[in-house]
Amino acid sequence: MADAPASNSASCLERLKSYVRTQKGMILAAEIVISFIIIICYAASLYGGYSTVAICELVFAAIFFGIFMMDLDKQFQLVNWMWSDLFRAGIGAILYIITSLVCVIGGSGDGARIAGGVFGLVASLLFAYDTYTIFLQIKSTRQHTPAATDDRV
């Protein structure tokens, strides 16, 4: 009975290791890490309010990482997880590019704000790449039914 929690944690650790080795796992892990770096940069700057986007995207990326890692997307069929992830990544890319450009353009004299803006531009590229890969995955899984044709025209 004492081995049950250890085996569950080992199972969770094994799932984590195997999921991080996948392409989607690497992308989500990179999104989490870069969002954390951006939070640190914005926290060190004079204007800490820009960290809101990074905090929200870190939380959402961590939630989707946990859902996909534990295969909960296959258990809860009520939510279309691929489309939800597409919207999460697309909105994240747009919000990161807007806030990053504002920080880089108007951040004279505040090095931490400019650094956060530069990392935000990198994050927007990462989120845009994630959006693109999700779009390709949705496009490949969607099945087309041929239209009915009438030969008697």
Q: Which residue has the tokens 């290791």?
A: 17
pLDDT single digits (tens) 82-112: 999 999 999 999 999 999 999 999 878 888 9
User: Whole-angstrom Cα distance, residue 140 to residue 138?
Assistant: 5
If pLDDT is split at 50, 70 and 90, which confidence band does 142 have? confident
Amino acid present at 64: F
pTM for this prediction = 0.84
Q: Could you tell me where the beta strands, DSSP code E, fall in 28-73?
A: none
CB count within 10 Å of CB 3 equals 8
DSSP state of 79: S
- Given a contact cutoff of 8 angstroms between Cβ atoms, the answer to whether 29 and 20 are in contact is yes
User: Whole-angstrom Cα distance, residue 45 to residue 55?
Assistant: 15
pLDDT single digits (tens) 58-88: 999 999 999 999 888 889 888 888 999 999 9
Amino acid present at 29: A
